[in-house]
Each structure stands twice: as structure tokens, then as C-alpha cells.
Amino acid sequence: MPVPFVDLSAQYRSIKEQIDQALADVIDRCAFVGGETVQQFEQDFSLYCGINADGNDVELHCTSCGNGTDALYLAIRALGIGPGDEVITVAPTFIASAEAITLTGAAPVFIDVHRDTLLMDVDLIEPAITERTKAIMPVHLYGQPCDMQGINAIAARHNLKVVVDAAQAHGATFEGKRPGALSDVACFSFYPGKNLGAYGDGGAVVSGDRELIQKIKMLSNHGRLEKYTHQIEGVNSRLDGMQAAVLSVKLRYLNQWNQARRSHAARYIEALTDSDLTLATTDPRTDPVWHLFVVRSTGRDALAAKLKQQQIATGVHYPIPLHLQPAYGYVNLPAGSLPVTEQAASQVLSLPMFAELTDQQIDQVVLALQAGS
């Protein structure tokens, strides 16, 4: 039986009636852009992000936008970061993380990741700080939260902002807190394949700073909060009513789906611990949401080909780190500059991972891996 990498239609089938009803309702009301549906989702999502495992919930605010790239861009711009400034980030990520920085006119500064987690290596942040540095952008890659304690301590010492790229980490926690509660701002993507995915593009910014969120809301809607008055020049980056309606329905299932991903990850880990594959180490202070389940193998390409022969789909996130992408030739970080990042890029293999994955499918993947590695 083929094992897909993700199965969005299985998820749709499980909540079809509610989704169809929510979409029909938006169409009935012709509430296509802005309005109540979008506001309701923003409120629901800010409450969701503010929930703390120990019951001490945090008051957060949310504004939605057109996609995750814009969420990052608008957040950085609203923090007053722009030409001449630097933002420290990592290279094993989707290009959007760095694009958002350059879109504001600032420059990305790539540092290496930690060998065990493939997340920002906190020990490398301070050596990268210059008088131009304005912010740190950790990426919660694969749904695993970065070391927010270490990052926040450095940010506080150097008066830097922390902008979290949480595009892959809806609901993940660090010391019980979700993204948005532990940084100046956290930015989310609702691209369809994400843990919380729309039926098109979507994004959001979450922060405890109400004024910052208002500024981002204004920037995302042509610089206005009222119809005819434009305080500043902004852009058009809005979540539409249909996407907000879908997201509000799906948000109700996010914990359940993340829990399913956690149990799939546990099954993979148990089966693969003694194999030749390297598994990611999870920081015990975190509860990841396994957007991707990634193993490392020195024979990655051959292994992926063997799985493909058995109709098991895999992915590589990401085969070319950003500093080696043609688009970032100008940053002048030749091959060898970020050794952990570069080695990981040649070894990482993402296995099928989605809430509706069955135990039989996981066992099938494991058997194929054991035969192939």
C-alpha cells in the first residue's frame, strides 16, 4: 500500500461537514475580506497561543495576514528594523525566513545550528552580534522549539528583539509556553500542509505587545485601521474570510492532531532507536509538534530511492541551506562555513508524518527503512 508524505484529503474527510458549513456561511454573508470571521479567528488563535501548560495563561494578541512570509516581514518591519540593520538567523530553513529580513532592507546573518537538534546554536549568537544587530530570528524547525531561555537571555543582554519563525510549530511548547508567549513576536504560516493549515495561503503574528500587533495590522492593510485614513504606507496582506473560517474549525482539532503526531513520532523513535539512522534529540524542556519527522542517514539519497520503490513518499527539508543558495551568494559564506548545517543538508530525510497516519503505515515505513539502511 502506498504511504503518502501527507494526506490533506483524509483530514478534510474527517471534518467535511463543519468545513463545508463554515465556507457556505462565509459565502452566504459575502464576508470575503476582513470582518467578523477573521476577527474571531484572530481572537481564537491568540487565546490558543496564550495557554500555558501550568495554567498561568498569558494574554496575547494576534493579527492575521496573507501568508507566513508576510507575517515575518511585517513583524520585523513593525519593530523598526530596516536598511543597515542585521538579523541573526539560521540557514537550514525555508527561504522565507531570510526573505522576510531582506524585504525590510535588513541583512540576514546566518549562524550554524546545534548538532543534536539542528536548531539555532545559542553559543554562536554572541560572536555574530555587531553594532548593526537588531534582532535574533530563531526558527522552530520541524515543530521543535528552540532554546528560548538561552536566546532570550542573550537578547536581553544586548537589547535585541526576538522574532520567532513558528511557521512549523503551532502549539509546540518550551517550558509549557507556546510560541508568542516567549518572544517579542512569533510568526505563523497556515500553508495547507502545516500543522494548522488553511485551504490556501494564510499567516498570523502573535505577541503580548498590543501596540505592536496594531501596527502590524495597520501595515498589512494599506497602513490603515479605518477605511479612508492611511496613517502610513503599508501593503495588502490580509487573511480572507474563507481561510479564517477553515482555520477556526481546524483550530478546534489542533491539539488532537498534534497529539496524534506525537504518538506517531514516539512509534517511529521506538522502532528506529537501534537502527543506523540518527534521530533528532529533543530538548526535555520542550514538547515538539512534529511538523516533520526527520532522520539522518549518510546514505540518504539511496535510502529515499529505496523507499520510493516501495511507494513510500519522503521529503528533504532542506537539501540546500540558505547560505549556499544562489540567491544568497552575496552573503559570502562559502561551502564549509556552517559545517553542522551543511552536513545535515546532505543527510536529512523527512518521513511520512500527518495526524491521520496509521500504525500500519508507520510500521511499513520502519520495515522499509530497516531493509534499506
**Binding site residues, ligand PLP, CB under 6 A:** 67-69, 93-94, 96-97, 139, 165, 167-168, 189, 191, 201, 203
CB nearer to ligand PLP: pick between 45 and 272: 45
Contact criterion met (CB below 8 Å) for 100 and 109: no
What is the spatial distance between Cα 237 and Cα 66, in angstroms, rounded to a whole number? 4
CB nearer to ligand PLP: pick between 163 and 369: 163
CB nearer to ligand PLP: pick between 108 and 203: 203
CB nearer to ligand PLP: pick between 50 and 179: 179
What's the distance, CA 117 to chain centroid? 15
CB nearer to ligand PLP: pick between 237 and 248: 237
Closest residue to ligand PLP, based on beta-carbon distance: 68
CB nearer to ligand PLP: pick between 147 and 165: 165
Smallest distance, ligand PLP to C-beta of residue 66, A: 8
Concatenate the DSSP letters of all residues of 121-178 into one string.
Answer: -GGGHHHH--TTEEEE--B-GGG----HHHHHHHHHHHT-EEEEE-TT-TT-EETTB-
Smallest distance, ligand PLP to C-beta of residue 283, A: 18
CB count within 10 Å of CB 315 equals: 18
C-alpha cell at 8: 490533506
Q: Which residues of 271-284 are buried (b: 16+ CB within 10 A; e: fewer)?
A: bbeeeebbbbebbe
Smallest distance, ligand PLP to C-beta of residue 190, A: 7
Smallest distance, ligand PLP to C-beta of residue 75, A: 12
Smallest distance, ligand PLP to C-beta of residue 202, A: 7
Edge-to-edge strands of the sheet including 161-165? 61-65, 203-207, 185-189, 161-165, 133-136, 86-90, 107-111
CB nearer to ligand PLP: pick between 11 and 350: 350
Of 357, 274, 315, which Cα lies nearest the Cα of 8? 357
Smallest distance, ligand PLP to C-beta of residue 197, A: 9
Smallest distance, ligand PLP to C-beta of residue 247, A: 13
